[in-house]
Structure 1
């Protein structure tokens, strides 16, 4: 099973810089080991305000208990709180082994929710939505898609910029009946994808 984990770090005031550097170095080494074991799939940085230290991580674990063991063993956990979102398979997900060529583009995390009660129009557009999602995956724009809860989904997307991202989302047949929240992502130095060759 896959999980999205929002990891927020609060370093205690007065902590020596050397201690912070040491734990960050150990965290990087531990992240590499987790990636090699197939437990850590991706890491990103969302937009941060002054003094914020936050990471989004995509993890794989057989269950929530094993995930907690993985998170508890990470060196930064001494200063960190984690918010876990379980991710269920979505029928329109291209899958982790998608063969689409990665675009030279920015990544975005997009949350989808019905704009009010689930309507018949939304349900009627499901087949067209699946076809459009397949096209966008083939073009390299839709990377992954998960179900978060009934009617709610989360997607990893690629686009040149926020304007193109808005255009892509507007092209979805179900767009008129969905509320979307888009989070631009930036590279994290410990992201396992940075060490994998691009196809």
Structure 2
């Protein structure tokens, strides 16, 4: 099972810089071990404000209990809080092999939720669902769609996408067959120094 973990770190004021550096070095070494064990799949940084220290991580674990064991053993946990989102398979997910392909385009995490149904023929959603599966395969083939998961909540999903920039991503999302029935919230991602993902080409 896969999990998205939002990790927020707050170092206590007055902590010596040498102590912070030591914990970060142990965290980097631990991240390498977790990646070798197949527990840590990806690490990203979302946009951060001044003084913020936040990381998004994609982890694999048999269940939430085992994931907590992994997170609790990470060195930065002494200063960190974690918000865990369980991810389940989406029928249109290209699969982990797509995520392993090196690609220099920026990555985006896109949260998808149902919006108010648009007026139209009653068959439109069913037809659009079928067309969406075809389009997802096409976008996976071009490297735009990397991964797709279902998240808690009726009709909610989370996708890892690649695009030249946010404008191209918006164009791709707006052209999806189901776009009129969905709302999208995109978070630009930058690569974390400890990310075990594929090397950029």
Shift in Å, 1:188? 0.2
Q: Which runs of 5+ in 2 are unaligned?
A: none
- After superposition, the Cα gap between the structure-2 partners of 1:12 and 1:182, relative to the gap in structure 1 and judged at 3 Å, is same
1:75 aligns with 2:78: no
- What residue is the counterpart of 2:169 in the other structure? 165
Which string of whole-angstrom CA distances, capped at 9 and with x for unpartnered residues, describes residues 15-71 of structure 1?
000000000000000000000000000000000000000000000000000000000
The answer (yes or no) to whether the contact 1:141–1:159 under 8 Å persists in 2 is: yes
- State how many pairs are aligned: 197
1:151 aligns with 2:155: yes
C-alpha separation in 1, matches of 2:180 and 2:24: 44
TM-score normalised per structure 2 = 0.93
- What residue is the counterpart of 1:186 in the other structure? 190
The answer (yes or no) to whether the contact 2:105–2:162 under 8 Å persists in 1 is: yes
Q: Which runs of 5+ in 1 are unaligned?
A: none
C-alpha separation in 1, matches of 2:31 and 2:100: 26
C-alpha separation in 1, matches of 2:144 and 2:186: 14
1:125 aligns with 2:132: no
1:89 aligns with 2:106: no
Shift in Å, 1:99? 8.2
C-alpha separation in 2, matches of 1:101 and 1:26: 28
The answer (yes or no) to whether the contact 2:46–2:188 under 8 Å persists in 1 is: yes
Shift in Å, 1:167? 0.7
C-alpha separation in 2, matches of 1:85 and 1:101: 24
The answer (yes or no) to whether the contact 1:100–1:140 under 8 Å persists in 2 is: no
Give SS of 2:8's match. Answer: strand
The answer (yes or no) to whether the contact 1:103–1:141 under 8 Å persists in 2 is: no
The answer (yes or no) to whether the contact 1:100–1:138 under 8 Å persists in 2 is: no
Give SS of 2:97's match. Answer: coil
Shift in Å, 1:102? 3.8
Shift in Å, 1:198? 5.8
C-alpha separation in 2, matches of 1:103 and 1:173: 25
The answer (yes or no) to whether the contact 1:43–1:191 under 8 Å persists in 2 is: yes
CA RMSD, 1 decimal: 1.8
The answer (yes or no) to whether the contact 2:99–2:146 under 8 Å persists in 1 is: no
C-alpha separation in 1, matches of 2:100 and 2:50: 36
- After superposition, the Cα gap between the structure-2 partners of 1:118 and 1:31, relative to the gap in structure 1 and judged at 3 Å, is farther
- What residue is the counterpart of 2:105 in the other structure? 105
